[in-house]
Structure 1
Amino acid sequence: MTILGIDPGFGILGYAVLRASGNIFESLCHGTLQTKKEEKISLRLKFLYEKLIELVDRFSPEEIAMEKLFFSRNVTTAISVGEARGIVLLVAAQKGLEIHEYAPHEVKKAVTGSGRATKREVQNWMKILLNLSEIPKPDDAADALAIAYCHAVTRNFVRRFKE
C-alpha cells in the first residue's frame, strides 16, 4: 500500500509518500510545495493542484491521508488552509483515491504514543520508525510523513480488528 500524506497549507504544503507492507514502512519521498506570496490566489492554487497531480501520477498512491482542519484564532489562515485542502480533495476525487483525515493529536499518538508529543518528538520518532538517516525536514514535510504513518498503522489496526 502506498499512501500520500498531506499537511495542508496554502503558503507551504507538506507531502510525503510512504509505502506500507504489513508492519514494514518505507519513506519514498517527502518535501514541501511552496507558493509565491506575490502571486494571485488562483495561480497559487493552480500550482498546488498541478504539483499534487504530478505526485499522484509519479507514485500511484492507493490512498491519501491528510491532517484535519482545526480552527485557530487566525480566520484568514484557516480559510487559506481550507482552500488548499479543497485542492487535495479535488485531486483525490479526480484520481479516485480514498481520503482519510486525522486530527493532530491522533497523529502524535500514533507516532509517539502520546497525543501531547512535541513536534520535535514526532520528528525523532519518524527518524527511528522509518530508519531515516536524519530527522525529516522541513517541519511541514515531517508532519506529512507522520500523517501518512498514522494512517498506515491505523489502517493495519482496523483491518486486524475486523478480522
Structure 2
Amino acid sequence: MRVMGVDPGLTRCGLGVVDGSTGRPLHMAAVGVLRTPAEDETAARLVLIERGIEEWLDTYRPDAVAVERVFSQHNIRTVMGTAQASAVAMLCAARRGLPVALHTPSEVKAAVTGSGRADKAQVGAMVTRLLRLDAPPRPADAADALALAICHIWRAPAHDRLSRARAAAYPGSGAPRPKGTIRS
C-alpha cells in the first residue's frame, strides 16, 4: 500500500509518501514541504497548496491519503489556516476517488512511538528508525507527514475490519443502530 501523509498548514504543509504494509518493512518514496508566502492572501495560498498536492498525487499515485485531524488550539487564526489546508488535501484526494483518513496527533504519536504524548524529537527519531533514514526529515512538518502515512499503513487493516464488521452487523443504511454508535 502506498500512502501519502499530509501535515496540513497554511505556511508549511508537510507531505510524505510511504510504501508498506503491516508486518513488512516500510519504505519512504518521498518527503517534502509545500511553503506559501505569509504576505499572500489566504485564497492565493490555498491555490498554491492545491497545486502542490495535485502535483504530488500525479507524481506518486498513492492508494490512500492520511491527513492530520485538526484539533483545537489557543490561536484561532492558526486553527483556521490548518483546517483550510486540511480541506484542500481532502478535496484533492476525493476528486481522484482516493480514500481519506483523518488521524489525530496523539493517535499518530502512539502508533509511531508507542506514546500519544511523544514530542516532535521522538516522532522524528522513530520515523528515521522505521524508514531506515540517515537523519530525521526536516522540518518537523515533513517528519509528521511521514508519521501520518506510517500510522495509516499500520492502522488501516484494523479499521477496514471494523468497518466490515459494522456493515455486517447493521446492513443497509436504514438499519437501527445502538445509541452512541459511530458511523464511519
CA distance in 1, matches of 2:28, 2:157: 17
CA distance in 2, matches of 1:139, 1:79: 20
Tell me which residue corresponds to 2:79.
Answer: 78
Equivalence map 1:81-160=2 (5 Å): 81-158=82-159
Rate the CA distance shift 1:78–1:159 in 2: closer, same or farther, 3 A. closer
CA distance in 2, matches of 1:63, 1:104: 18
* 2:20 match: secondary structure: strand
Tell me which residue corresponds to 1:4.
Answer: 4
Equivalence map 1:60-75=2 (5 Å): 60-75=61-76
CA distance in 2, matches of 1:52, 1:158: 25
Name segments (4+ residues, structure 1) moved above 6 Å: 160-163
Cα deviations across residues 75-101 of structure 1 (Å, max 9, x unaligned)? 111111111111111101111111001
Q: Which runs of 5+ in 2 are unaligned?
A: 166-184
Greater Cα shift, 35-44 or 137-146: 35-44
Tell me which residue corresponds to 1:58.
Answer: 59
| TM-superposed deviation, 1:40 | 1.7
* 2:26 match: secondary structure: strand
Contact 2:21-2:153 at 8 Å conserved across structures: no
Root-mean-square deviation (CA, aligned residues, Å) is 1.7
| TM-superposed deviation, 1:157 | 4.2
Tell me which residue corresponds to 1:15.
Answer: 15
CA distance in 1, matches of 2:158, 2:121: 25
Q: Tell me the matched-pair count.
A: 163
CA distance in 2, matches of 1:129, 1:82: 28
- Amino acid in structure 1 at the alignment position of 2:145: A
TM-score by length of 2: 0.84
| TM-superposed deviation, 1:156 | 3.8
Q: Which has the larger radius of gyration?
A: 2
Rate the CA distance shift 1:21–1:9 in 2: closer, same or farther, 3 A. same
| TM-superposed deviation, 1:110 | 0.4
- Amino acid in structure 1 at the alignment position of 2:73: S
